[in-house]
Amino acid sequence: MIVLDDLKDQVPLREISRISGISLSGYYYRPGKRDVQRLDPSTKERIKDIASERPTYGYRRVWAILRNQGTRVNQKTVRKVLNDSNLTLPASRHRGRTKSRNLFHPHGPDQLWETDITYIPIESEMTYLMCVKDCFTKEWQGYHFSRSCMARVAIRSVDNAVLMAFNGTVPKGLVLRTDNGPQYISHEFRNAMKLPEIKLE
């Protein structure tokens, strides 16, 4: 390009372009500087605070809150901060709950229970609160808090609920509704529910 700059005052640029094979657009092109912005530390902390306050929110909802508060940051940045801080939710691998036409509708308490998992980020890791709720009274019957969400943890949450609600003796006909998460469809969990004769839905 230096040579072309020296010749442009003596030879028309079109002729230089024809001889050299360099297009005019290529000659006039000047790469611009990339606009690289460093993330403000206060914004990074705000992203982590929102994720901690709302542990069930994904990066898009966290980004939406920031946008509504007037903080300009792109979604990829929010996702990276959450990933680096281990504040992202585990990918869902289940297919959802049983279809509505097959659901049992309780007419009183202690007929149908339902499981629930709440993701709670603590410092640099994700923890799990597994709860069991009575679908008629909407009251929590038992829970178990753990750093993992394996089948044994799910079993312990049900055991605690049975102990707290019935002093360890399960009433006949109790149904437990779960989703199709890996901990609930495991042989370990299903076999554990056979002993107290809890029917799974």
Question: What's the helix, strand, coil split of the chain in %, to 5?
Answer: 40, 15, 40
pLDDT tens sequence across 41-80: 889 888 888 887 777 677 888 888 888 888 889 889 998 9
Rounded mean pLDDT of 144-164? 91
Rounded mean pLDDT of 155-164? 93
Rounded mean pLDDT of 157-180? 90
pLDDT tens sequence across 117-144: 888 877 767 888 899 999 999 898 999 9
pLDDT tens sequence across 176-195: 999 888 889 999 999 999 88
At residue 39 the predicted structure's pLDDT band, cuts being 50, 70 and 90, is confident
Among candidates 98, 132, 105, 116, which has minimal Cα distance to 201?
98
Mean predicted lDDT score pLDDT of the chain: 78
What pLDDT shows up at residue 3?
A: 47
